[in-house]
Amino acid sequence: MSSEAAVEQARRVVGLYGDPTISWSIGMHAELAEPVTATELAERLGAVVAEFPHLGAAPDVQSIQAQQLGETRTGFLDDRYGDRDPLLRLATTVDGRQLVIAAHHGAVDGLGLLAVAGRLVDASVGSDSRGIGARRSSRTFVVSSMRRLGEAVFAPPSRFAAEVAHPASAAVAGDVLGVRHLTVTKADTSLVTASACQAMRDWNAAHGQPTSRIVVAVGASRRTDAPTPDRDTAYLRIVVDPPDHAPQIGARLESAEPEPDFPVTRGSWNLAPLATRMLRNRLGSSLFVSNLGRLTSGGLLRRVAFYPAAAGPRAVAVGVASTAEATTVTVRMSRSSFTASSAERLCTAIADQIERGRVAQ
């Protein structure tokens, strides 16, 4: 597969998600217990893209200073993928102990990106995150889309109160990021979701905005064994009403049907403009949660910050990954509606809620 064909395939996968304005780049920042050299990374990277041609061409491995980590991470997440660009982005600090990797979400999902990272550092990585297997939706894509359109009119999801008011004509691309490391080494998705919902209620209350209906999209995997460098993802969508706490949310997630698979055939692609408008409302949610679970790597991965894609109006995405040393919580918010301070404060609020929830359990 040529690099151009790989890019086209990745775009087709996410092209009907309903938000063509974002980069669809997901990322990961891993702190390593043992250093890895740029030469080793380049050699292993070549082997990965040769085995998995849907990942496109092998990118150059950037060697950066520690103080460049934030700028590099932001660029990897914000920059769009050009027609001939590699679908992977990779940088390491000169000491070889910090790894920043990003990929087009049409090529890999979160666990797929983790699998790529594992191959690059020559470690067997795994996750205790349970997949949903072959479970499918009982509704068709079209039926579900029409239902979402009706929902958008009569019962739209609540949104986070914005803290930036750009003129309608201003094009503000990219996202702002927040990250916090917790000493706990496991955070269940139900607890993370409950914590994010409570943080949203508190956030909106502080801004004088009601929170009437929280709709949460939750990333799920269809994998039943070790992750591979590909995309095998699904989404669950639940409505969280107070006073729902982690046990109630966990039960909803257990019983929720996955969203219908997206039509990515060539025929559907020709209907992209119409489907995109439908999908933007269909996938409209208050926030998105993606939890990679507790990771195993033989002790090589010390801390992992995962940044899922944030799409939609006033987009907010929460990422979580746990290792034997820490649980890392991230927040990714649209720069068109929020500031860097917004992301840091919301991330702290969610992390604090997770810590309280852990104590209460």
**Which CATH number characterizes residue 10's domain?**
3.30.559.10
Are 7 and 153 members of one domain? no
pLDDT at 270: 45
Query: Are 84 and 3 spatial neighbours (Cβ–Cβ below 8 Å)?
Result: yes
> What integer pLDDT is reported at residue 21 of this predicted model?
76
CB neighbour list of residue 44: distance below 8 Å, 6 or more residues apart: 119, 120, 122
Using 50, 70 and 90 to split pLDDT, how confident is the model at 169? low
Q: Are 84 and 7 in contact (CB under 8 A)?
A: yes
Total structural domains within the chain = 2
- More confident site: 87 or 360: 87
**Is residue 111 in some structural domain?**
yes
Examine residue 135 and state whether it is found in any structural domain, yes or no.
no
Same domain as 148, residue 98: no
Spatial distance between the Cα atoms of 203 and 9, rounded to a whole number of angstroms: 39
- Residue where a domain stops, chosen among 91, 126, 161: 126
Residues 105 and 181 both lie in one domain: no
Domain assignment present for residue 159? The answer is: yes
Same domain? 182 vs 296: yes
Question: What length is written for the chain?
Answer: 361
pLDDT, tens only, 71-108: 999 999 999 999 889 999 999 999 999 999 999 999 99
Residue 219, beta-bridge partner list: 235
In this predicted structure, what is the pLDDT of residue 194? 95
Q: At what angle do helices 272-282 and 141-154 cross, to 10 degrees?
A: 60
**131 falls within a domain:** no
Q: Determine the structural domain holding residue 297 and report its residue range.
A: 141-360
Pick from 203, 215, 194: which is nearest to 358 by CA?
194
Cβ–Cβ < 8 Å for 78, 25: yes
Residue 8: CB partners within 8 Å, gap ≥ 6?
A: none
Average pLDDT over residues 266-274: 45
Say whether both 100 and 148 belong to one domain. Answer: no
**What does the block give as tokens for 330?**
């991230």
Start-end of H helices in 107-244: 110-120, 141-154, 189-206
Rounded Cα gap, residues 193 and 191, in angstroms: 5
* 312 shares a domain with 249: yes
Residue 132 lies in a domain: no
Determine which of 18-22, 64-68, 324-328 has the lowest per-residue pLDDT on average.
Answer: 18-22
| 308 belongs to a structural domain | yes
pLDDT higher at 239 or 332: 332
- Structure tokens, 272: 């992209």
Tell me, yes or no, whether 326 and 179 share the same domain.
yes
> 83 with 165, same domain?
no
291 neighbors 192 (Cβ within 8 angstroms): yes
Nearest to 283 by CA among 6, 103, 11, 20: 20
In the 8-state DSSP scheme, what is residue 57?
S
Regarding whether 179 and 46 lie in a shared domain, the answer is no
Give the angle 272-276-280 at the CA atoms, nearest 5°.
Answer: 170
Residues 174, 315 within the same domain? yes
Any domain includes 191:
yes
Q: Of the candidates 99, 126, 153, which is a domain's last residue? A: 126
21-41 pLDDT, tens digit each: 789 999 999 999 999 998 999
Interval 241-269 mean pLDDT:
72
Q: Are residues 106 and 152 in the same domain?
A: no
Boundary residue ending a domain (126, 160, 195): 126
The Cα–Cα gap between 261 and 259 comes to 6
Dihedral over alpha carbons 155, 157, 159, 165 (to 10 degrees): -60
Q: Kindly indicate the confidence band of residue 136, based on its pLDDT and cuts at 50, 70 and 90.
A: low
The residues pairing with 214 across neighbouring beta strands, listed in sequence order, are 240
| pLDDT average, residue stretch 279-307 | 85
3-state helix, strand, coil in the chain (%, to 5): 35, 25, 40
* 82 & 213 share domain: no
- Return the exposure string of 239-272: e unless at least 16 CB atoms fall within 10 Å of the residue's CB, then b: bbeeebbbeebbebbeebebbbebeeeeeeeeee
- Calculate the average pLDDT of the chain: 85
Q: Would you state the pLDDT for residue 268?
A: 44
232 in any annotated domain: yes
The β-bridge relationship of strands 287-296 and 88-93 is unpaired
Q: How many other C-beta atoms are found inside a 10 Å radius of the C-beta of residue 8?
A: 16
Q: Assign residue 189 the CATH number of its domain.
A: 3.30.559.30
Cβ count within 10 A of residue 59: 20
The sign of the CA dihedral 271, 272, 277, 280 is positive
